[in-house]
């Protein structure tokens, strides 16, 4: 019972961490990316920056090279990321909803419903809010895990 009680609070913390990605960086580049979902976005520029910040449940320092251009769903994006320190993703599950698992694979780093901005002119600021994660957090307060990303769930022994 105590473990379940503890799991409840740690899962609420992880769900809260999933809502906002935030990072600061510096390096050469000029990039502007404003988005209110992938349908309503405008992007242009390139960036080669050293960054520190949060990506969902992880915190770290990394170098990122990024080229992006386009409007709405008609855009090109190329991202190369090198981890310097931090960045533990072991608390994610492989079968998570599209809003979570795929966000961090390869050059994918923003969900379809994400809202935010990236501005880089020597100094970089990147903020991304994922509304589905906010819904998951709010419903999680009532033990409803709509994105199936809570850890420590009870697993039924199929042999019994």
* pLDDT tens-digit profile, the chain (160 residues): 656 677 899 999 989 988 999 999 999 999 999 999 999 999 999 999 999 998 877 888 999 999 999 999 999 999 898 888 886 554 444 443 334 444 444 455 678 899 999 999 999 999 999 999 999 999 999 999 998 888 755 443 333 3
Look up the pTM and report it: 0.79
How far, CA to CA in Å, does 24 sit from each of 15, 59, 83? 22, 12, 15
Q: Can you read off the two tokens belonging to residue 26?
A: 């510096």
Q: How many angstroms separate the CA atoms of 8 and 132, rounded?
A: 19
Q: How many CB atoms lie within 10 A of CB 5?
A: 8
């Amino acid at each position: 019972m105590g473990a379940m009680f503890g799991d409840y609070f740690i899962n609420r913390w992880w769900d809260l961490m999933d809502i906002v990605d935030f990072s600061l960086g510096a390096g050469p580049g000029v990039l502007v990316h404003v988005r209110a979902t992938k349908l309503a976005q405008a992007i242009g520029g390139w960036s080669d920056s050293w960054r520190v910040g949060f990506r969902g449940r992880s915190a770290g320092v990394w170098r990122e090279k990024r080229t992006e251009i386009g409007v709405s769903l008609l855009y090109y994006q190329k991202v190369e990321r090198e981890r310097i320190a931090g960045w533990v993703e072991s608390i994610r599950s492989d079968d998570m909803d599209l809003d979570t698992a795929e966000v961090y694979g390869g050059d994918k780093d923003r969900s379809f419903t994400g809202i935010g901005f990236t501005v880089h002119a020597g100094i970089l600021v990147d903020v991304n809010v994922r509304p589905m994660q906010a819904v998951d957090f709010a419903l999680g307060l009532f033990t409803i895990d709509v994105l199936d990303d809570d850890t420590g769930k009870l697993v039924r022994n199929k042999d019994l």
